[in-house]
Amino acid sequence: MTTQDKALEILRRLSKATPHPKVELHFSTPFELLVATMLAAQCTDKLVNTVTPKLFATYKTIQDVADATPEDIDRLILKINFHANKAKNIRAAAAMIMDTYHGKVPQTMEELDALPGVARKTANVVLGSAFGIASGIVIDTHGIRLSNKLGLTKEKDPVKIEQNLMKLIPKDKWIDFGHLLTLHGRYICTARPHTCTDCPLGDLCPEYPWT
């Protein structure tokens, strides 16, 4: 089995197990997803979802966030790792969206990547889940761990891993594949000790007990 055949079979099996994979961050607008994803860096989606309802209720528009001080925003996200720095970036990103992009969250990788506190992973989340634009594959800690474990890449750098996977997975499945790896790593093939009994990937994994 070639690496590409293996990648496509992983995609097929994970898609069967989770037919409609989605980001688990709660949001109702592209900007809310942008903010939630920024907050989720080195933090769990579950914790972010406990903080964002009050944050989004307090600041209902991008202009509201741009008009706030970083200190005001920070007070609402104190449970989040690196909250002070994230508060500064969220306010600065909102101001840039208002000033440069006429109050609309941009829809290209280059423009999103230029926002304060936004890197390629965050941009991919927003493009894929808010706009349905497949500009890449979201690679988080689960994606790094599983793509190496499953033998799809030997790279450790997320950008290089993404480049490798984009060659293996059809573009119309890029958005789903990132979600599928994340969900599989979060709930089935966790970084903690776990049983492989119900794993849909089975013999595709070198660590499966019966390979």
Q: Looking at the annotation, which residues are catalytic?
A: 121, 140
- 2, 151 contact by CB (below 8 A): no
CA distances, 129 to each of 7, 67, 101, 149 (Å): 22, 27, 20, 26
Q: Which two tokens stand for residue 51?
A: 């903080």
| Non-local CB neighbours of 141 within 8 Å, separated by 6+ positions | 185, 191
DSSP 189: S
